[in-house]
Amino acid sequence: MIHLVIALPAEARPLITHYRLQRRPGNSVFPIYAGAGIRLVVSGPGKLASAAAVGYLCAIGAGDPGGAVWLNVGVAGHRDHALGAGFLVHSIEERESGRRWYPPRVISVDCGSASLITVGAPETDYPEEGLYDMEGAGFYAMATRDASGELVQCYKVVSDNALAPAPRVDARQVEALIGGQMPAITGVVEALEALRRELPGSEAGRAALDGFLGRWRFSAAERHRLERLLDRHAALSPGRPLEPADFRFCRAGPEVLRALEARLAGLTGRAVEAGA
Amino acid sequence: MIEVVYVEEAVRDHPRVQALLSRFREATVVSCRRYTEVFNPAAQNFRLQKRRPALILAHKHGAAVLEAPEHYGVGGRHNYYFSHMLNCVYDCRYCFLQGMYRSAHYVLFVNYEDFDQAIVDMLDGLAEGPAWFFSGYDCDSLAFEPVTRFVAQLLPLFEGRPEAFLELRTKSTQIRTLLRREPIPNVITAFSFTPAAVSRSLEHRVPALGKRISAMVRLQRAGWKVGLRLDPLIHCADFEAQYRQLFQQLFCSLDPDAVHSVSYGPFRLPRAYFKRMLRLYPAEPLFAGPLEHSAGRVSYGDGLEPEMMSFCREELERFVPAERLYPCVAPV
C-alpha cells in the first residue's frame, strides 16, 4: 500500500488527479482519498497535524497485507534554489528540538536531494542551507513507527526563496508547482513500491497462511509458530507451497503444527543444497 | 559504487575525508553530527540497505582496541581486535553483522593514527608477549583497502614490533597493498572459505573460490604468511564430499607446510541475531536447516556439530599438523 501524506489541498490536487483517487465517504478526522493501492491523506499544515494524519492512516491500513510505503509531498522554501525545483530529502532536522533523521536513500531516482529543516512557522529569511517546511519531521518520526526508513521519504518542491518569499505563494501556484513535478513524484512512488515488494512476507505467503487459519483454530502463539513453519517449508521447498488439504486428516491446530514439523524434519538435511 | 557519503561534522576537514570525497565526486555528501545518528536508528532494514550501502566517515571515540572474545585466536596468549570499519562489502547470508547492526552502511573511522596508538599502548602495557591483533572482526580486512588504505598505513607499525602479530582476515583478492612491499613475518593474511557450491549459494558478491585461492598462492609465493579460516562450517547436502573437495582444492594449490594456521568452527549465532536475520530472510534455506536453539544460541546442536567438527579435523590433519589446527567452539 502506498500512503501519501500531504499538508494542503492545493498540494494534493495534482496527485488526486494523476492517481484518479476518490474521496472516501463519511466524516473522517482527515480527508482521505483512495484508489488502487494508494491512500492519500490531507493533514493540514504543521508537524503535529502531519504526524496525526500518519497515525490515522496507520489505523485505517492496519489490516493491509505486505506493509506500506510512505511519501510526504509538499512545497518548501529555500534561500537559493529556483522555484519549482524538486528534491528528495536526505536529512530532516526538527528546528525546535534539534533532532535529526536521515531517510536512507536506497531507491534510484533521477532527482536531486537536499536537507530539510522543519520549523513551526513559515520561514522567510532562510538562514541556513536547506529546505524549510512545517511537516517533514512530524511525518518522518511517525511514519518510521510503521515502516522501515528506506520506505519513508519526503519529496519537496521549492515554492519560495529569497527573491520570492513565502507569503506571496497562493494555492493555484502551489498546485502548479506540484503538478510540474509529477513525473519525478510518480518515479519516487514507483521506486518505493518496487522496493517494498522486495521485502519478505509476500501476498502469496499470506494467502497460504490464511488458508490454514480459515480451516483450523490457532492460539496467538500457535499462529506465530505456524507462520514460522510455513516460512521454513517455503525455504526448503520453494515452488511447492503447502495446502491445507495436505493436512485434511488433522482435527485441530496443534495437530497441524505437529504434522508440519514432522514433514519439515525430513527436509532439513537439504538446507543448503549444493549448487543452489 | 557509493552514491551517498555521510560525514561527521568533526572530521569534515580531515585530509583523509577530503581525499575520500574527491574519490566519490558524484556522491551526495550529507553532514551528520555523529555517525550513530545515521547508523543506529531502529527503523532501518539491513536487507534493503545492502542494495545500495552508503559510506559514513566518522571519528572513532573510546577504546579503539578491545580484548578478543574468549577462544578467538590461533594460539596466542593475548588476543585483541580492532575495527577501523563496520560492515562489509560482501553479503554473506550467514554473517552475524546482519543480526548485530540495523544498518548496512559502511562506517569508516578515519582517525587511523588512534588505532595505531592504541595498539602501541596495549603492547607497551604487556609484561610479556606475544600479542595478537585481529582485524576483520566487523569488516573484511582487505576488501575495501583500495579505498581506505588502512592496512597500508598500519603495516609499518607491525614491521617495527615483531613481538606483535597482526591477522588480516579476508574473502577478497585485494592483495596489492601486501605484494607491493617486502613480507612482514608477523603479519598473517587469513582467507575464509566455504565449499564452492556453498559459497555460490550464500556468499554473495564474494570473488570466486578459484580467484581467492590464486590470491592466496600469490601471497604465499611472495613470502607472506597465510592462514585458512573455515569458520563457519555450513551443513549442506553432501557435506563431507563438499568439504573434502574444498580441502583438496586448497592444499593442492597451497604449500601446506607454509600455511601458518587453520581454524575451523561451526555455524553459530546468538539467538537474538539469528531472529533478526530470519526476519530479514525468512526464505533462506540456511536458516531453515537442522538448527537447534539452546542457551541463548543457535547452532547445529550436540548431534551434528561434533560430527562436522571431527570430520573436518580428521580431513585437515591429512594436510596440516595438529598443532596448527585451531577449533573455534566457544560459546558465541
How many Å apart are CA B169 and CA B161, to the nearest integer? 20
Q: Which three cell numbers stand for residue B258?
A: 607454509
Rg, Å, chain A Cα set: 23
Shortest CA distance from B197: residue in chain A: A275
Mark which residues 276-305 of B lie under 8 Å from A by CB. Answer: 279-290
How many Å apart are CA B39 and CA B86, to the nearest integer? 10
Q: C-alpha distances in angstroms, B54 versus B27, B35, B298?
A: 9, 12, 30
3-state SS class at A182: helix
Interface size, chain A vs chain B, as Cβ–Cβ contacts under 8 Å: 129
- Judging contacts by C-beta atoms under 8 Å, the chain B residues touching residue A98 are none
pLDDT-derived band at B75 (thresholds 50, 70, 90) equals: confident
Q: Please tell me the CATH code under which domain A2-198 is placed.
A: 3.40.50.1580
Q: Which of B275, B271, B268 is nearest to B299 (CA)?
A: B268
Beta-strand ranges (E) seen in chain B are: 4-8, 28-32, 55-58, 65-67, 78-82, 85-86, 91-92, 106-109, 131-134, 164-170, 187-192, 203-204, 225-233, 259-266, 268-270, 292-294, 297-299, 325-327
CB-CB under 8 Å, A106 with B283: no
Of A148, A150, A271, the CB nearest to B288: A271
Mark which residues 32-71 of A lie under 8 Å from B by CB. Answer: none
Burial class from Cβ neighbours inside 10 Å (0-12, 13-18, 19+) for residue B266 reads: buried
Question: pLDDT tens per residue, chain A (276 residues)?
Answer: 999 999 999 999 999 999 999 999 887 889 999 998 999 999 999 999 999 999 999 999 887 877 899 999 999 999 999 999 999 999 999 999 999 999 999 999 989 999 999 999 988 899 999 999 999 999 999 999 999 999 999 999 999 999 988 777 899 999 999 999 999 999 999 999 999 998 876 555 667 788 899 899 999 899 988 988 888 888 888 777 788 888 988 999 999 999 998 888 777 655 565 433
Shortest CA distance from A274: residue in chain B: B197
Q: C-alpha distances in angstroms, B102 versus A151, B46, B87, B277?
A: 15, 6, 11, 11
pLDDT score of A200 = 78
Of A152, A233, A271, the CB nearest to B289: A271
* B332, pLDDT greater than 50: no
Q: For residue range A222-235, list pLDDT tens digits in order.
A: 998 898 888 888 88
Q: C-alpha distances in angstroms, B268 versus A6, B73, B232?
A: 47, 17, 8
Q: For residue range B123-165, list pLDDT tens digits in order.
A: 999 888 789 999 988 999 999 999 999 999 999 999 999 999 9
- Judging contacts by C-beta atoms under 8 Å, the chain A residues touching residue B43 are 144-145, 147-149, 152
Of A113, A198, A267, the CB nearest to B28: A113
Per-domain boundaries in chain A: 2-198, 202-273
- Residue the block writes with cell 515488494: A197
CB-CB under 8 Å, A195 with B282: no
For chain B, how are helix, strand and coil distributed in percent, rounded to 5?
40, 25, 40
Whether residue A90 contacts residue A115, with contact meaning beta carbons closer than 8 Å, is answered with yes
DSSP state of B274: H
DSSP state of B69: P
Cβ burial B193-222 (10 Å sphere, 16+ → b, else e) = bbbbbbbbbbbeebbebeebbebbeebbee
Q: How far apart are the CA of A275 and the nearest CA of chain B, in angstroms?
A: 4
Q: For residue range A115-169, list pLDDT tens digits in order.
A: 999 999 988 899 999 999 999 999 999 999 999 999 999 999 999 999 988 777 8
Q: Which of B98, B309, B83, B331 is nearest to B202 (CA)?
A: B98
What residues contact B85, with CB distance under 8 A and at least 6 apart? B106, B107, B108, B109, B138, B139, B144, B148, B150
Shortest CA distance from A275: residue in chain B: B197
pLDDT score of B319 = 96
Whether residue A44 contacts residue A109, with contact meaning beta carbons closer than 8 Å, is answered with no
Q: Which three cell numbers stand for residue A176?
A: 502548479
What residues contact A17, with CB distance under 8 A and at least 6 apart? none
How many Å apart are CA B71 and CA B300, to the nearest integer? 19
DSSP state of A240: -
Rg, Å, chain B Cα set: 20
